[in-house]
Amino acid sequence: MALCLAALTASPPVLADYPIASHRYLADPGFLTQNGRLYLYASNDDDNAIEGGYSMASYVGISTTDLKNWTDHGEVFRVPANASWASNSWAPTLIERHGTIYLYFGNGGSNIGVATSTSPLGPFQDALGRALVDRNTPGASGTDMWLFDPTVFIDDDGQAYLYFGGNGENNLRIARLNEDMISIDGSVIQSYAPNFFEAAWMHKRNGIYYLSYSATPSAGTPIDYMTSTSPTEGFEYRGTIAGQPPENNNNNHAGEFEYRGQWYHAYHNRQVATQAGIPTTYKRNLGLEALYHDADGTIQQVTYTTDGLPQLENLDPYVRVEAETTNAQSGIETEPCSEGGMNVSQIGDGDWIRVRGVDFGDGAESFTASVASGTSGGTIELRLGSETGTLIGTCDVPGTGDWQTWTTQTTTVSGASGVEDLYLVFRGSGSPLFNVDWWQFAGSGSTGGTGGAGGTGGATGTGGAGGTGGADDTGGVGGTGGGGENTGGMATGGMPPATGGLSGTGGVSTGGTMAGGVTTTGGWSSTGGNSTGNTSTTGGMASTGGAASTCTPPLVECSGACVDTATSGLHCGACNVVCPSGAVCSNSTCAATCAAGLTQCGSSCVDLVSDPLHCGACGSGCLTGQHCSAGTCVDTDDPAASSEDSGCACATAGSTKKPFGLALGLFALAVLAVRRRRTRSRRLLRGVSARMVRDSEEDTSELAGGRSVSRRAGAPSAR
């Protein structure tokens, strides 16, 4: 063990919200929110050769609670392993109904399948043994029709729909799904969209249906949209949601969704491949921006910014943090772990991981990591602010005899308190050096942040997405029992508890973010917390461009967006004033508690009696087609129904976990397959994230996205 005493350093300037999960090539994002976590699912461009075509055959899941630090859950679905009849899996879309998560996938441009799981981490398994939609489905076919890019939507009355299609203005299709979600009700509806190319997407807000899509290359491949008062007809073209993203100049696929009261626009571009200096067509990466609706129902056009999103909450280092939770990185990879979930692998000398907004509270005293090495190991340097910043400790990693033979190593640390960006810098001779599964600090400080998804296992093994002591209220992300599908987390083990949690009983807890309370001028006062005297973040949540609007009182305009500063935890009392982790916006002021009759859930004050997103308890959201009555989810068409009878999401659903006793040979083959698919382009990524960090420090201006588009070759085989 090694110890270095040093002073704190300042965090670097904020960075872009692309790329997300920069160690992977991912595209075509779909989303799911479960128990307070946001999951993005993506086509796995790691399956594609650098040149040679789109051959994605798997989906990767990543998740976050703070929008800055993302946990890699690995592959959640792969064909033909999880759907023997299929050879491709493109552009996922997911939704939960009655405790089952349904994943719809495009098998190239030929047909659409459906798979199911009871866990957001999968594995998802084929539900039918055949396609759900193909060219023989009544109403589905068309002239040069692409049967792909599905999006699933459940309306307030419980009726589910599937939108899909491509390659022609008359090739948009809408299918009614039966209650079982795996069969079609009647003939598919043929619809029209101006310049329709692909990537149909549906969301609903305030009674308005928004059908967005990627327009043709001749139109510049923007994400355009139509609106209607019906989910199936009467759509009127309204304009563009988002133009071409920066560093893209090719196909454009996006989705819009709501998370913690704010709407977002997820998309892909090609920045990582551009920075790596390789051909970019088949190597994409994910990005995220805020989305704003105007009072007249139109959408403000997305302005791509270098840091448009604030960190929603700090990360708690005093709970177990999966090593594959990153904000930025240089050189690393991830792979399936013998302990379940994923681990960081292929580590070389000088590689690093950054975790953003780590709240050390009153101070950390030690650091522990689970490590393995098939060679002689190396060291982990713990630094603040940058990869060359203040050294607070060094953890020795010994050889363990095998890359999946795990041991825990502990070292003392000094000089870490308050909120800092943490860098894990890896040192040693040769490559690879060692693997890391998880890490955790110990000390007198205890914060109210979260420690990343995954427990003892993460992706598909033991552990899971959460356990006790998670993100929102007492006992975990979605209530007592944590972020998983039942008490104890996603699978056996769950996330270790965090004293106090983010909110709920106990607030931020001893040694947490807040020390000094609420000030009457300047927002939330903190010592070693998010900021000094206020919570404004550079760039803020609001985009600085888009259409100008006149807001209807009590809404006010924040950089072109209409927001309620009396209740918005992202614009509390004034534009871009973000309440820190554990605080809420009450009557335009960041406060420790909510007004009488309301309960704190995250940074919002909600009525647990009637709020369908927090019905009876924080994070206990009602299913679509239900409403919250007297703190219980009931079917909208049956107000007398109980939460149990109606399948209320307030009740914990059953979970599945991958059998722990996997055959060693099968596990080794899985790891080898991942390494073979990704090693060709891996070293091209080394240093890319570091260059993007430096570039963003030099230029924090907004990036324009209006470049010309190179049309991809004709058909979805060139996706």
Catalytic residue IDs: 28, 198
| C-alpha span between 56 and 78 (Å, rounded) | 9
| C-alpha span between 294 and 449 (Å, rounded) | 32
Who's near 94: CB < 8 A, 6+ residues apart? 30, 31, 32, 39, 41, 101, 102, 103, 104, 152
Q: The tokens of 143 are what? A: 């002239």
State whether residue 199 is helix, strand or coil.
strand
Strand stretches in 208-259, DSSP E: 208-215, 223-228, 236-242, 254-259
Can you name the residues that pair with 75 across neighbouring β-strands? 60
| C-alpha span between 240 and 216 (Å, rounded) | 13
Give me Rg for the CA atoms of the chain: 24
Can you name the residues that pair with 293 across neighbouring β-strands? 299
| C-alpha span between 558 and 110 (Å, rounded) | 45
Edge to edge, the sheet with strand 236-242 lists 196-205, 208-215, 223-228, 236-242
Cβ contact 313:502 at 8 Å: yes
| C-alpha span between 618 and 530 (Å, rounded) | 24
Amino acid at 75: E
**Per-residue burial over 310-323, b = 16 or more CB atoms within 10 Å of its CB, e = otherwise:** bbbbbbbbbbbbbb
Q: Which candidate, 65, 58, 68, places its Cα nearest to that of 22?
A: 68
Virtual torsion, Cα 684, 688, 691, 696, nearest 10 deg: 150
Virtual torsion, Cα 369, 371, 376, 378, nearest 10 deg: -40
Q: The tokens of 305 are what? A: 């910014």
Cβ contact 227:233 at 8 Å: no
| C-alpha span between 559 and 545 (Å, rounded) | 7
Can you name the residues that pair with 114 across neighbouring β-strands? 104
| C-alpha span between 402 and 597 (Å, rounded) | 57
| SS3 assignment for 663-681 | CHHHHHHHHHHHHHHHHHH
| C-alpha span between 250 and 707 (Å, rounded) | 10
| SS3 assignment for 354-386 | EEEEEECCCCEEEEEEEEEECCCCEEEEEEECC
| C-alpha span between 40 and 44 (Å, rounded) | 12
Q: The tokens of 447 are what? A: 């914060």
Phi, psi values for residue 158, rounded to 5°? 95, -10
Cβ contact 61:74 at 8 Å: yes
Amino acid at 80: P
Q: Which candidate, 128, 122, 99, 123, places its Cα nearest to that of 107?
A: 128
CA–CA distances in Å: residue 39 to residues 119, 150, 221, 456, 488: 12, 18, 26, 19, 20
Alpha carbon of residue 498 to chain centroid: 21
Four-residue CA torsion sign, 571, 530, 307, 698:
positive
| C-alpha span between 693 and 699 (Å, rounded) | 10
